[in-house]
Amino acid sequence: MHSSRPENKAGVFPEGFFWGASTSAHQVEGGNTNNWTEWEEKNAKRLAGNAKNEYAFLREDLFREANNPENYRSGKAADHYHRFREDFDIMSSLGLNAYRFSIEWSRIEPKQGVFDEKEINHYIFMIKELRARGIEPFVTLWHWTVPVWFEDKGGWESKDAVSDFEHFVTKAASVFPEVKFWITLNEPDIYSYNSYKKGEWPPQKKSIFKYFRVRSQLIRAHKTAYNALKRINPGVNVGIAKDTMCFQPYKGKWINRLISAILSFWVNKSFLNAIRSSLDFIGVNYYFRNLVHLWKIQNENKIVSDMGWELYPSGISEVLTALGKYKLPMYVTETGLADSNDEKREWYLREILKEISQEIGKGIDVRGFFYWSLLDNFEWDKGFWPRFGLIEVEYTKSCARRVRPSAIALKKIIREGL
């Protein structure tokens, strides 16, 4: 059903292709209590204080938001917890047939070993509502937030971390039998780097030893979760959402080629190699190309997002070609941009979909595309000002939804091709 057609040209997607959008619980639900909400409380003022220097490049309205401490508290976020049906109706109207979201561990297991039936039922209901609209759920088990009790025990550094996670995953597998696509971890390399090497995200540690320890714990966590999910329901598909980047050598120089190859191996492949035997599919999250000039990244930045990130949709081809070597089905589980005026999103969507369809045409097994994000949301330590959504959330009007023109353009692409 999913196999790519040999005659595939740019703009043609295989039968059964999943057209989706992604979110994560902490970024959209609102009303969470977890390690991040605690960290936000302690750091909101500091982050707002840094904004003057850090975000001086922002447009005035966004800059104003970035200077406000409230910007850095997730609070009610996009209120997706209460408005998910409305959001799913919009998804249906756009022709989307898949939704990637995460279930919030801290809601399901607020105290160690104590599961909250009401919260479990909330997600069961969400899954039912998706199925009623013909939307396939792709469920992420860990998208960076953890319960406070887990963090208090030492978080991912703790010797119990993997078995605690396994306990949660086992429960999830048995109470959500409707889920056919599981994503164990979201971007483990980005998390371990920002939280334990750079020391910017909770728990803000800066230690190369801790970084490697957490990374290897996450490798074990994935494998353990894979086995637990398969034990309970052997028919499910289990993968990971891997952060990937495209590396290109500046001016093609040999030294830059060598460094690019090393970086590309470390960033894109080394985690996947470690979990290769416990993977049914690869989820590809793609945002960046890096033009490598010795040990520096020297991007051209011809087109940038509101966040100043270079937009380089064609870089995804290199990533997909490279990961195609694993001979596993792939889903683009995230790609997108912060673009509050919706000026570049349609262009980005068209360009990246062109690249993906060309890869499919070459025989690369890509079975779905999930735009990040369905909704404007809480962008971690940056807060609310970056607007990634296909759907605009009007925060000043109690989170009213407004479908952006680029979402309508995507609808047309889904229906008519590129």
Catalytic residue numbers, as ranges = 187
Closest separation in Å from C-beta 111 to ligand BGC: 26
Among 24, 195, 317, 406, binds ligand BGC (CB under 6 A): 24
Are 14 and 4 a contacting pair, CB within 8 Å? yes
Question: Segment contacting ligand BGC (CB under 6 A): 11-19, 100-108, 118-126, 184-192?
Answer: 184-192
Other CB atoms within 10 A of residue 361 CB? 18
Are 19 and 98 a contacting pair, CB within 8 Å? yes
| Sign of the four-CA dihedral 375, 378, 384, 385 | negative
CA–CA gap between residue 86 and residue 105 (Å, rounded):
24
The verdict on 119 binding ligand BGC (CB under 6 A) reads no
Binding mask 289-328 for ligand BGC (x = CB under 6 A): ----------------------------------------
The verdict on 157 binding ligand BGC (CB under 6 A) reads no
Closest separation in Å from C-beta 159 to ligand BGC: 27
**3-class secondary structure, 50:** helix
Question: Segment contacting ligand BGC (CB under 6 A): 82-90, 168-176, 185-193, 340-348?
Answer: 185-193
Closest separation in Å from C-beta 382 to ligand BGC: 8
CA–CA gap between residue 268 and residue 273 (Å, rounded):
9
The verdict on 65 binding ligand BGC (CB under 6 A) reads no
CA distance to 44, 135, 317, per residue, from 95 (Å) = 38, 9, 25
Among 74, 186, 256, 264, binds ligand BGC (CB under 6 A): 186
Among 105, 211, 372, 384, binds ligand BGC (CB under 6 A): 372
Among 379, 381, 414, 418, binds ligand BGC (CB under 6 A): 379
Token readout for 32 is 């969470």
What are the backbone angles phi and psi of residue 174, rounded to the nearest 5°? -85, -25
Token readout for 59 is 């447009």
The verdict on 334 binding ligand BGC (CB under 6 A) reads yes
Using alpha carbons, select from 342, 415, 335 the residue that is nearest to residue 369: 335
> Could you list the residues that contact ligand BGC (CB under 6 A)?
24, 27, 186-187, 190, 285, 334, 372, 379
